[in-house]
Amino acid sequence: MVRHYVRKTKKGDSYSKNDLCLAKEAVQCKQMTVSSAAKLFNIPRPTLYDHINGRRGIKSNTMGRNTALGPQHEQKLANLIKIMDKYGHVSPFKNGYPNKDWWLGFSYRHKLSLKKPQVVECSRKKACNPFTIYGYFELLRKTMDELNIMDKPDRIWNLDETSFCLDPSKTKIVGAIGTPATRTTHGSGRDNTSVLMACSAIGQKAPPLIIFKGKNIWDKWVPDQSDFPGTTYAATTNGWMERYAFLNYFEKSFLITAQPTPDNPVLLIYDGHSSHVDLKLIEIAINNNVTILLLLPHSSHLIQPMNLAVFKSVKTTWDQRLCTWNRHHYIQKLPKQELSRIICNIWATLDKQIIKNGFKKAGIYPYNYNAIDPAQFDPLSLSRWNLRNTVENNNQIDINQPSTSKESANNTPEQSTNNTTAQFIDINTFEEMLLNSMKQIPIENTKRRQVSSGASVITYEEAITILREKDLENNKPKNNKRKKQADEVPVNETRTADINTEYMIEQNLDSFDEELDLNFSLDSDDNDLLNELLREEENLADERYLFRTTNNIGDWILIKYDVKEKSSNEKHYVGIIKEINDNMLKVRFVKLKSEDKNSTTFVYPIADDIDDVSDSNVVCCLPQPTVGRRSQLIFGITFSQYNLK
């Protein structure tokens, strides 16, 4: 940083703080536009825009960038230093500032260290929300009560798949200081094999599903004798889980192991991956007394037993066994048969207590509503959650306990709620203040359809209906043969067929009788022609709407202005009628959101643009726009033939 910088321009000397405040107030009170205020007070227009939109604060005395600490914090710090100097306080640090030795002692006393932050996906960070997490636990308790399995851990199951790397990477070795240690492997460390595992809350383990990359399963891939009987195998094109593989495992392996009955139903909990949700799978689950509960998206690290305890122990043992195998088979690739044998042996010898600990840590069995540590939640979301619960509890206390004194009788529930809210808002931790001070830049997201709000039970009739409609929509054949058929049919036959079809449609539409039962069928080509005719009728209706002759308050209109420019003699603007006086219209104008003249999206300017317009300048009336996000106005027509501004 330059310590003795001399400003080379006098750009910031043309206006003062008072001028900036006056200009900002004039624009916000709609007394002046931004351009006129900038010219009057001699302030750069971008600077005034930034202050109006809150992107910049009060103009500083130094005319430089913002300081690291805010003005209030700097002033408070300066006052403290002055008070210390007043009473002759001397700095305890050597040379007046803390050095590295002080930092080492300070970090040791308070257990601090410099560390590389662990990368956490944004989606997983957002999933740590008390509103969704506690909602999932409510749904879990309700489902377990309905199935009457709250005290039956053998009826609660969890499954998930994970990948096993074919090269060891976790096991550490001992070596000389200052000498690099190496481990020679066959592959690049990126070859993985997916394995699906399932277990119950009592510690029972289901046969695993090992998924290889390929089109077929070969006999050399399967060991002659497995340490875990019933192990299943599958082959997919990419080596990942797919719907047909998951469906076969559920029907031919899991149901045999869990043995659900009407008297002893089974609750199966897993994540909502696309390969785990299928219409046929849900129908089989319902018919076999299995209730499927999908976990919250991006929250398996918090509430899934397999991720909390089981997979870590399994993969640690797997890495150790892999190192042992590599020492006896130098620079050799692990055969698929040996891979299956090692995985089955690890899964068979896994301690049942590890599985039980996973279900306990996830709060599934024993059921624990408060299994998730509140420290893992987002502080602001947690404060809103606590505030809501406090307000609800106070409201319930006010209802259940009638007041006995005059003061309590005068206090309404609304007043008590406001008092509680004010009390809670005043209590801010340093972490909350820090998060509030961090400015977030909003990013406009594209629209998307919400399929599920979070954790959900999918084994019910409504879910089956939704999946059936989705399958019908995906399997609907596309009519791509029309163009080929039109090329093959002679021109005369095509023209004759079109004339006959149009005549038939016109006759039926003109001479339609409600009491007459008309039974005629149209092929795919005739259906497309009928749809085109309907679209033409709708377009004509829109055009007739454009050329209305009467103007009313609240109507949207297109207005022309005559200008003297070489490019064009007319410019067109869009606005809404606010008042009507004889032949004069008071119109509030909007502007295009983008510079593209073919755009149909408009926004209101920062300062209202209102003008009196003669009725003769109105080109046409416009249909009512659709209000989108951030008050954007979207018209269902195009303005390509106009010089729109």
Report pLDDT for 212: 93
Lowest-pLDDT choice from 77-81, 268-272, 457-461: 457-461
**460 pLDDT higher than 80:** no
CA–CA separation, 641 vs 197, rounded Å?
A: 64
Q: What is the pTM assigned to this prediction?
A: 0.55
Q: What is the mean pLDDT of residues 571-591?
A: 87
Going by pLDDT thresholds of 50, 70 and 90, the confidence category of residue 181 is confident
Residue 192 has a CB neighbour count (10 Å cut-off) of 16
Going by pLDDT thresholds of 50, 70 and 90, the confidence category of residue 399 is low
pLDDT, tens digit, for every residue of 536-571? 444 444 444 444 557 788 888 888 887 765 555 788
Residue 353 has a CB neighbour count (10 Å cut-off) of 11
Report pLDDT for 597: 64
CA 347 from centroid of its chain's CA atoms: 36
- C-alpha dihedral (404, 405, 406, 407), degrees to nearest 10: -110
Q: What is the mean pLDDT of residues 628-632?
A: 79
Report pLDDT for 498: 45
Report pLDDT for 425: 39
pLDDT > 90: percent of the chain: 26
Does 188 or 59 have the greater pLDDT score? 188
Report pLDDT for 114: 85
**328 pLDDT higher than 50:** yes
CA–CA separation, 593 vs 632, rounded Å?
A: 8
Does 512 or 479 have the greater pLDDT score? 479
pLDDT, tens digit, for every residue of 342-393? 999 999 999 999 999 999 999 999 999 999 998 888 777 888 888 888 887 7
**634 pLDDT higher than 70:** yes
Residues making up the chain, counted from first to last: 645
**272 pLDDT higher than 80:** yes
- Three-state DSSP at 577 gives strand
**147 pLDDT higher than 80:** yes
**459 pLDDT higher than 50:** yes
**124 pLDDT higher than 70:** yes
Lowest-pLDDT choice from 65-74, 109-118, 549-558, 631-640: 65-74
Does 442 or 222 have the greater pLDDT score? 222
**434 pLDDT higher than 90:** no
Report pLDDT for 443: 56
Give me the DSSP letters along 245-310.
HHHHHIIIIIHHHH---SSS-EEEEE---GGG--HHHHHHHHHTTEEEEEPPTT-HHHH-HIIIII
Report pLDDT for 61: 56
DSSP one-letter code for 616: G
Residue 613 has a CB neighbour count (10 Å cut-off) of 20
- Three-state DSSP at 42 gives coil
Going by pLDDT thresholds of 50, 70 and 90, the confidence category of residue 623 is confident
Report whether 600 contacts 634 (CB < 8 A).
yes
Q: What is the mean pLDDT of residues 30-52?
A: 87
Lowest-pLDDT choice from 2-11, 184-193, 505-514: 505-514
**76 pLDDT higher than 90:** no
Mean pLDDT taken over the chain: 77
Q: Please report, in angstroms and rounded to a whole number, the separation of the first and last CA atoms in the chain.
A: 45
Going by pLDDT thresholds of 50, 70 and 90, the confidence category of residue 58 is low
Q: What is the mean pLDDT of residues 131-135?
A: 90
Does 2 or 157 have the greater pLDDT score? 157
**519 pLDDT higher than 70:** no
**243 pLDDT higher than 80:** yes
Q: Which residues of 131-154 are buried (b: 16+ CB within 10 A; e: fewer)?
A: ebbbebbebbeebbeebebeebbb
Q: Which of 339-343, 387-391, 468-472, 603-607 has the highest mean pLDDT?
A: 339-343
Pairing of strands 456-457, 610-614: unpaired
Q: What is the mean pLDDT of residues 327-355?
A: 91
pLDDT, tens digit, for every residue of 249-268? 999 999 999 999 999 999 99
Report pLDDT for 251: 93
pLDDT, tens digit, for every residue of 412-421? 444 443 444 3
CA–CA separation, 414 vs 274, rounded Å?
A: 46
Which pair of tokens denotes residue 50? 């930034």
